[in-house]
A and B are shown apart, each in its own frame.
Chain A
């Protein structure tokens, strides 16, 4: 099984760095995008299995990006985990409505994020096979 690919989209470089470190440690292939537009550019070449998407970003925010991704047929099965420090129930609902599979509140525990992504990927792979 090829190592899973994950795209981390966050304008906070420090956070992207530590997440990428953590996923690399778990033998993922990681790419980092700094905002929604960057994400759209990288997604077709990188073809990730999962996207970790920050919501509050400049230019194109997370919600819009998720909507755009979901409009595309290729990305309908993509695992999208939304992350945000704005963590009211309404914010979570908005992310899920936009098409995210899962919502992670910031600040988060890295281990939990890893676990969640791992589990979700396993489930979706299982269902695909």
Chain B
């Protein structure tokens, strides 16, 4: 269907656009050729066939040109060429039919260049040339055939071999001429395709340049400082358009892009009209508003133009354009003809020709319009390629510049650095010479002075070398940024520590104006320290004695702004722009220049550049200088999970978590003091991040070097430590702070994967007893859970959610401990003894210990009214109780890993006979630690006071257990538990034996 529509369009165009004059000329040439050969018309059919063939060919030349020029795609062009070839073949077959089979080979040889050239170029002018050539050739052959000199190829033979009769010679020469001409035309257009394009405008040299084919165009354009843009082209096109006789107004319009919602770019129009006297007015320019700003009428017009094929011809009264606001009434014409240039269905440029009635030759106007459009098309394409190339060129240019800048920088660097190095060397050399010259001279009072100078210059040289090495490392990109969360304030304090000698020597007061809640920033701490060192050092160096320096840090939404202000002599205005240059040293006027490398500020600038920051300086001479720099905040990405928790745990949102954490640890460890120490960023010392039961002041100052003290040793070795009595320790120096009442403590490393990240310390057991191995074991378990929960909570993404979950878990744990729904300490001890007796592994024992403490955390969600209820529970209430093991697991999930603890908690209410909850497991399917916990839990709840049940004696409880053994409880576990009870003196010997008497199976099993 599309093909049919397309064919119709082509046909419509053919009828409109074919130059009948040219066809007539072709026919005339045929006849002329025959006349030249002095032959008669005696074969009418041949002539008719030829005439038809020529018409057919010419028609396809036009259509083919259009297709190829519009870049309809290779398929369309191929189709056309094939049609053409078929047409030629048919024509030739007809000729063969009428002439007795002689003419076709030569005809084909004439048609070939036409086909080739059109395929290669699709140029109209080629077609004209070849058409003329073909016509001449056809006439000549015809003449020869009539002359009877057959076959056709023999026509060439006489030229070299024998004398010809006059008609024969004339025909041969004509045929040769025709071939040569068509070949010549083909060659010209093959290699100079655009040579005749825009011939009319070949008035100034500038235009000619643009009309060479693309390759030439590029070269020439590149040489030009400013090339023509598409706008210039359109302006030229408008000029070209108005050259035609009937066109009184020409315009090129860049249609506004975008849609109603998208906005897009504003359109532009160039137009010029002709005065009644045909004097050309100057080209005017007009801006068309963006699509969204266009009024409805122009939109409708543009829409209409947009939808149409880009080849289509639009016609209408000129007033339509004026109403759409395209042109003012100054330019007037009766009607307009327009065509669009651009991709199919997406025209970008509109060429408009205004005509005034009456028109002499409408088809000429149409042709001219399409002609200009056809010529404009490749030029616009070339222009856009040019734009692209200009972009690439300028990118190359700037790259080149930066390369040569680096090059210059390096060579400058070498030359200046060598000079700066030679200066102290010269002094050293000269003083040594002077000393040598007087080596024999015993009376040489300057000896000491000279040696001092040498020493001094030597130091200076060394400093200079260090600076240069620093600088070259940074400047030439050898130093990679090592960003970490950094507290700028502490960086400033560290810098001041380093600079203290200089500051104290000149009695300079340094004030720090920093927000105490300054957030941490991801920078390279070493390099940032270098920045402060250089800036504060400079300030101190240039400041007179007894003045002050202010160091300030301000926080803004996306960046930190820091400044260093001094009360020194300031920087002269003409020197300010140079201060950040390498080796530049502010000289000022008539004052002594402090010694320096001239690299300090250059290094500062480089470091800030690396961080994406910037620096500037304000100074008035005599009023001091203020260096102000900016460091952009950088967001942590997910993969940068810090292994050093100390860096993040200070963030405000973690403070609450951390304080809850130590409270929980204190509750569970049953001790008065807990401190969590985390490794600092340099991993060289431990700092107390949060503590329970210690004075704030102690917390602030507590800082231990790794390897020193008990915590330091634990961090260094990675092994937990139990100290029963400090006074027996080798390292004890009697300096322990007074708040440590007992002399026993436990200290356990916090490990993330295998790396130690901190230490948890516990002191002062509530009972006043020393810590024992079980306490150590519990703390090890807790430390592991705590570290895991912390590191999870600090994984930055969704930090809030995770944090809330963790905090919720800790709060539940604390609540449970304080509500005393958990297992009593005694029961925990019994549980561990029982576990040992049952042969559990150490790992399982620790898990059981932890589970004993936390297993009923789910009860906190059941609600106090149910837990404390006297009398039977309703079904609904009972369901909630039944759910508590699973709920407990999910509640403290941040403090569990998918390990045994999980299982123990989940299944500790199962019964060996399968009547338990939540899953109804039986016998051996219930994990052994869970079976143990079930017994312990039952015993503990029976022996302790519960609202719903008066406490029983251990013997009564044990009897109950024995009664239910094999039903609710595991027989083996109950049996072992009786032994444990007896061992721990919970049961007297007689009670123990009585229980065994009562239940014969106990004898049997044992």
Within 82-128 of A, Cβ neighbours of B (below 8 Å) are at 85-86, 88, 106-111
Q: Which residues of B contact A17 (CB under 8 A)?
A: 453
Bound complex: CA A22 to CA B126 (Å)? 92
A110 x B433 contact (CB < 8 A): yes
Considering the complex, give the chain A residue whose CB is closest to the CB of B592.
A13
Contacts A85-B423, A106-B422 given: A15-B430 contact, CB under 8 Å? yes
Known A-B contacts A14-B457, A85-B423; the reply to A108 vs B415 at CB < 8 A is: no
A107 and B419 in contact, given A18-B434, A18-B450, A58-B587 (Cβ under 8 angstroms): no
Q: Are A106 and B426 in contact (CB under 8 A)?
A: yes
Are B446 and A108 in contact, with the CB atoms below 8 A? no
B428 neighbours in A (Cβ, 8 Å) = 107
B419 and A18 within 8 A (CB)? no
- Nearest Cβ on chain B to A70's Cβ, whole angstroms: 25
Q: Which residue of A lies closest to B419 (CB)?
A: A85
Output the least CB separation between A107 and chain B (Å).
Answer: 4
C-alpha gap A106/B426 in the complex (Å): 6
- Render B432-466 as a binary contact track against A, CB cut-off 8 A, 1 for contact: 01100110000000100010010011000000000
Name B449's closest neighbour in chain A (CB-CB): A17
Question: What separation, in Å, do the CA atoms of A110 and B431 have in the docked complex?
Answer: 9
Instruction: Report chain B residues within 8 Å CB of A46.
Output: none
A59-101 vs B, Cβ < 8 Å mask (1 yes, 0 no)? 1000000000000000000000000011010000000000000
**A residues less than 8 Å from B418 (CB atoms):** 85
Q: For the complex, give the distance between the alpha carbons of A14 and B434 in Å.
A: 12
Instruction: Please give me the residue from chain B that is nearest to A14 by CB atom.
Output: B427
Whether A86 lies near B419 (C-beta < 8 A) is: yes
| Most B CB within 10 A of own CB, among A15, A18, A21, A106 | A18
Residues of B within 8 A of A108 (CB): 426, 429-430
Which residues of A are found within 8 Å of B955, using beta-carbon distances? none
Chain A: minimal CB distance from B13 (Å):
73
Query: Does B425 interact with chain A (Cβ within 8 Å)?
Result: yes
A97 to B294, CA, bound (A): 72
Indicate whether A56 sits within 8 Å of B419 (C-beta atoms), given known contacts A14-B457, A21-B434, A109-B433: yes
Q: In the bound complex, do residue A18 and residue B437 qualify as a contact, i.e. CB atoms below 8 Å apart?
A: no
The answer on a CB contact under 8 Å between B437 and A107 is no
Chain B hits for A12, CB < 8 A: 423, 426-427
**Could you tell me the dominant secondary structure of chain B's interface residues?**
helix
A41 within 8 A of B: no
Contact call B437/A22, Cβ cutoff below 8 A: yes
Q: Inside 8 A of B419's CB, which chain A residues have their CB? A: 56, 85-86
Judge whether A19 is part of the interface by a CB distance below 8 angstroms.
yes
Min CB gap B414→A, angstroms: 11
Whether A107 contacts B429 by the Cβ 8 Å rule is: yes
Q: Given A14-B427, A15-B426, A86-B415, A21 and B446 touching (CB < 8 A)? A: yes
Name the A residues within 8 Å of B430 (CB-CB). 15, 18-19, 22, 107-108, 110
CA distance A12 to B450 in the complex (A): 15
Query: Quick check: B429 and A109 within 8 Å, CB to CB?
Result: yes
Which residue of chain A lies nearest to B429 when distances are taken between CB atoms in the complex? A107
Instruction: Report the nearest A residue to B433, measured CB to CB.
Output: A110
A3 located at the interface, meaning its Cβ lies under 8 Å from any Cβ of chain B in the complex = no
A25 interface residue per 8 A CB criterion: yes
In the complex with contacts A18-B450, A21-B446, A85-B419, A110-B434 CB distance below 8 A? yes
Whether A111 lies near B437 (C-beta < 8 A) is: yes
B121 to chain A, nearest CB (A): 58
A106 CA / B423 CA spacing, docked (Å): 8
CB-contact partner of A22 in B426, B427, B433, under 8 A:
B433
- Minimum distance in angstroms from B445 CB to a CB of chain A: 11
Distance between A6 CB and nearest chain B CB, rounded to angstroms: 15
- For A58, A109, A110, A111, which residue has the most chain B Cβ atoms within 10 angstroms? A110
CB pair B422 A18 closer than 8 Å: no
The answer for the CA separation of A88 and B434 in the assembled complex, in Å, is 27
CB distance from A27 to the nearest CB of B (A): 14
What residues of B have a CB within 8 angstroms of the CB of A107 in the complex?
422, 425-426, 428-430
* Other-chain contact of A18, B425, B431, B456 (Cβ < 8 Å): B431
Cα(A110)–Cα(B429), bound, Å: 8
Task: Fill in one digit per residue for B294-322: 1 if any A CB lies within 8 Å of its CB, else 0.
Answer: 00000000000000000000000000000
A113 to chain B, nearest CB (A): 9
* Residue pair B422, A22 in contact (C-beta under 8 Å): no
**Cα distance A14–B451 in the bound complex, in angstroms:** 12
Closest to A11 in B: B593
Which residues 160-193 of B sit at the A interface, judged by CB distance below 8 A? none
Find chain B residues with CB under 8 A from A58 CB: 587, 593
| A83: nearest chain-B partner, CB-CB | B426
CA–CA, A48 and B840, complex, Å: 103
28 contacting pairs across A/B (C-beta < 8 A): A12-B423, A12-B427, A14-B457, A15-B426, A15-B427, A15-B430, A18-B427, A21-B446, A22-B437, A25-B437, A25-B438, A56-B419, A58-B587, A59-B587, A85-B418, A85-B419, A85-B423, A85-B426, A88-B415, A106-B423, A107-B428, A107-B429, A108-B429, A108-B430, A109-B433, A110-B429, A110-B434, A110-B437
Given contacts A58-B593, A85-B418, A88-B415, 15 further A-B contacts (CB under 8 A): A12-B426, A14-B456, A14-B457, A15-B426, A15-B427, A19-B430, A25-B437, A58-B587, A59-B587, A85-B422, A86-B415, A106-B425, A107-B426, A107-B429, A111-B433
The 6 nearest A-B residue pairs measured at CB: A85-B422, A110-B433, A107-B426, A106-B426, A107-B429, A18-B430
